[in-house]
Amino acid sequence: MGSGAFALALFLALVVCISPAERKCQLSGLWRNEQDSLMEISALTDDGGFQGEYLTRVTLAGGCPRVSPLKGAQQQPSEVASPTFAFTVRWDVFSNATTTFAGQCFVEASGREVLSTMWLLREAVGSLEEDWKATRVGRNIFTRKRAPGGKILHSLSSSCEDVASPTP
């Protein structure tokens, strides 16, 4: 057996022997949730920090969503197969709200990577008396979306200039 064939056989043996439970879930990349929102996470820094962009398909006031920045951190970035993480999205221009997500990254038995998250959305209100209605809670499941490398969310964002403003 030639060295190339041996290397291929060794690689295939290693891939088959690594169960999904032993594979590490990687946060970086493009993700889609059940509302068809997209999130792109950059590579993690050595201390677990990351940034990225989020394109929501859901808005509070019906405004035109734009790509919004996100920043976060992953716990124990190189030590855990299913790490926990948290990030915050500052909704850009179209909303007066901020959302914080906390979750965990899993590799299912099928090999599919999943981010299971809970979120708190805080909307600005005019007074302390209105505080009771300012925070919403929810859950999102994100799955990895295979896409060409590079930032692509801006190309997927709709043009807000073409969308009529909602009438009161």
**Distance (Å, whole) CA 101 – CA 105:** 12
* Residue 154 pLDDT: 60
Q: Dig out the tokens for 53 from the structure.
A: 């962009």
Has residue 96 been placed in a domain? yes
- CA count, 13 A, side-chain hemisphere, 76: 10
Has residue 9 been placed in a domain? no
* Residue 32 pLDDT: 94
Question: Cα–Cα distances in Å, from 70 out to 124, 127, 139?
Answer: 19, 27, 17
Element (H, E) at 69: strand 68-74
Element (H, E) at 14: helix 3-17
Q: What share of the chain is helix, strand, coil (3-state, %, to 5)?
A: 15, 35, 45
User: Residue 107's domain is classified under what CATH number?
Assistant: 2.40.128.30
Has residue 90 been placed in a domain? yes
* Residue 14 pLDDT: 43
* Residue 8 pLDDT: 46
Residue-range definition of the domain harbouring residue 122 = 24-146
User: Can you tell me which residue has the tokens 């007074």?
Assistant: 127
Residue 103 Cα to chain centre, angstroms: 10
* Residue 159 pLDDT: 54
Has residue 38 been placed in a domain? yes
Has residue 3 been placed in a domain? no
* Residue 81 pLDDT: 83
Are the C-beta atoms of residues 142 and 41 closer than 8 Å to each other?
no
**Distance (Å, whole) CA 65 – CA 148:** 23
User: Can you tell me which residue has the tokens 């997500």?
Assistant: 101
Are the C-beta atoms of residues 27 and 105 closer than 8 Å to each other?
yes
pTM score > 0.85 for this model? no
Has residue 58 been placed in a domain? yes
* Residue 158 pLDDT: 57
Has residue 37 been placed in a domain? yes
* Residue 10 pLDDT: 44
* Residue 92 pLDDT: 73
Has residue 64 been placed in a domain? yes
**Distance (Å, whole) CA 142 – CA 36:** 9
pLDDT < 50 positions in the chain: 8-18, 20-21, 161-168
* Residue 160 pLDDT: 56
pLDDT per residue as tens digits for the range 30-54? 999 999 899 999 988 988 999 999 9
Domain count, the chain: 1
